[in-house]
Amino acid sequence: MPLNYTITMTFLKLGLPKPLVEALADEGYQTPYPIQVAAIPPILKKKNILGIAKTGSGKTASFVLPTLVNLQKSNAPKNREPQVLVVVPTRELAIQVGGVFQLFSKALPNYIKTVTVYGGVSINPQMIGMNGVQVLIATPGRLLDLVDSKAVHLSAVETLILDEADKMLNLGFKEEMNRILSLVPKQRQNLLFSATLSPALEGLQRILMSNPIVINLSIEEKVAVDLIEQSSYLVTDERKGPLLRYLTQSNAYAQILVFTSSGYKADNVADKLRKNGIKASSIHGKKSQSARKKALEAFKEGNIKVLVATDLLSRGIDIAFLPCVINYELPRSPKDYVHRIGRTGRAESSGVAISFVSPDQLAHFKIILKKNKLWMELIDSSVLDLHGY
């Protein structure tokens, strides 16, 4: 599909109402991103969309904005029967998407009740919150819990949105998704968004819709990676901690997001940083929802300098103006490397990505570079004086 993306394109020209355009301007958004240019007009026309675009490309707003506009024209909502259902793979992404819906719905004349639900917290308040819901953002498991409790019914869904659909399939939600699809009406608008186009995703797309408008901007992911300053250090496991503290204290990075391969290691790294006087916290799947939310909010607000995370945060979470990402441990796959470092260098902001490579991971690191068509000099960390760190 031709994008016709030029510097003169505006949100008003895309068909969004003036109050929404003004709300976008108040948030600092003057010019739409390519995914928004391509997706907003057909979504306003209730077309089915398969959108492939990297995280941080403005993907969320590309479906939130036109969906809110369409809701202004829909029939009055029925109790406990949402008109829009958004299914996402993680709690953090659910909260983020819900926040965007709530932010921009305030600009429109008709009140739109948006509810966000996910596991790890009490279900009772969420059940009560289903009264009058119009937009429901949910993780698959908690959504089905609410359905089984008869707290919500999916028979009135007019628009089904699956965000980070490839991640959903990779996390093993196939059975849950099949059941959800069996509960929504056959006649509906389908919006399927993903960072990659995998065979499994193509299969899901065939089940969901025929002849969708396909918007594939995934090629831009490579361009974005090229704009990130990448470097790597050859370092033994014993010297990773001192090297991390050296880089944290010797560079002027306002904040750093550090990736580890396990929750245990994330806790351990954050604990050592704190013991050395560096404000740090960890976030991973084994922490409670409230602890994860608290840590992420503290990082976004600048109250802590270093957030140590597992791949839970490698996709779908927008941390504005993050200057540096460090791979304390290498990711399992080359694709995960791109998703991790993509937390920095978002939109027009520049960023730095640093990887720690232990001697036994050299072969794996070479595969990551080869698959992503990257090259970088491996710096021998033994030349650095890490005494005192």
196 pLDDT higher than 90: no
**Are the C-beta atoms of 233 and 357 separated by less than 8 Å?**
yes
Q: What is the pLDDT of residue 361?
A: 93
**Are the C-beta atoms of 374 and 225 separated by less than 8 Å?**
yes
* Distance linking the first and last C-alpha atoms of the chain: 53
**Number of C-alpha atoms within 13 angstroms, CB side, residue 226?**
6
Q: What is the pLDDT of residue 108?
A: 92
Of 109-123, 212-226, 280-294, the range with the lowest mean pLDDT is 212-226
Query: Where do the structural domains in the chain lie, given as residue ranges?
Result: 18-217, 222-383
Q: Is 283 helix (H, G, I), strand (E, B) or coil?
A: strand
| CATH 3.40.50.300 holds for 18-217 | yes
Write the single-letter amino acid at 122: S
**Mean of pLDDT over the chain:** 85
316 pLDDT higher than 60: no
360 pLDDT higher than 90: yes
18-217 matches 222-383 in fold: yes
pLDDT (mean) for 143-157: 95
Q: Is 48 helix (H, G, I), strand (E, B) or coil?
A: coil
CA distance 66 to 274: 44
Confidence of residue 345 (pLDDT cuts 50, 70, 90): low
Segment 106-130, tens digit of pLDDT = 999 888 999 999 998 899 999 999 9
Q: What is the pLDDT of residue 218?
A: 63
Confidence of residue 59 (pLDDT cuts 50, 70, 90): confident
**Are the C-beta atoms of 137 and 131 separated by less than 8 Å?**
no
> Within 10 Å of residue 333's Cβ, how many Cβ atoms?
15
CA distance 134 to 156: 10
Q: Which residues contact 335 (CB under 8 A, 6 or more apart)?
A: 196, 371
Confidence of residue 100 (pLDDT cuts 50, 70, 90): very high
DSSP 212: P
Top mean pLDDT of 198-212, 286-300, 305-319 is at 286-300
Top mean pLDDT of 173-182, 236-245, 291-300 is at 236-245
Q: What is the pLDDT of residue 151?
A: 95
Cα-flanking dihedrals φ and ψ of residue 347, to 5°?
50, -125
Predicted TM-score (pTM) of the model is 0.62
**Number of C-alpha atoms within 13 angstroms, CB side, residue 340?**
28
Q: What is the pLDDT of residue 6?
A: 36
376 pLDDT higher than 70: yes
Give how far Cα 187 sits from Cα of 89, 145, 155, 209, 309, Å: 24, 24, 11, 10, 40
353 pLDDT higher than 50: yes
**Are the C-beta atoms of 240 and 308 separated by less than 8 Å?**
no
Token reading at 40: 């907003």
CA distance 179 to 202: 18
Beta strand segments in the chain, E: 49-52, 84-87, 114-117, 135-138, 159-162, 189-194, 213-216, 229-234, 256-259, 280-283, 306-309, 324-327, 352-357, 378-380
Q: Which residues contact 97 (CB under 8 A, 6 or more apart)?
A: 60, 64, 86, 88, 116, 137, 163
CA distance 154 to 148: 11
Confidence of residue 377 (pLDDT cuts 50, 70, 90): confident
Give how far Cα 178 sits from Cα of 22, 87, 204, 207, 272, Å: 39, 12, 10, 10, 44
Confidence of residue 203 (pLDDT cuts 50, 70, 90): low
Segment 251-260, tens digit of pLDDT = 878 889 999 9
292 pLDDT higher than 60: yes
Confidence of residue 8 (pLDDT cuts 50, 70, 90): low
- Sheet of strand 324-327: strand arrangement: 280-283, 306-309, 256-259, 324-327, 352-357, 229-234, 378-380
Q: Fold for domain 222-383?
A: Rossmann fold (3.40.50)
The CA radius of gyration of the chain, in Å to the nearest whole number, is 22
- CA-based nearest residue to 16, from 80, 63, 59: 63
Confidence of residue 51 (pLDDT cuts 50, 70, 90): confident
220 pLDDT higher than 60: no
138 against 90, higher pLDDT: 138
pLDDT (mean) for 66-87: 90
Q: What is the pLDDT of residue 1?
A: 39
CA distance 238 to 241: 7
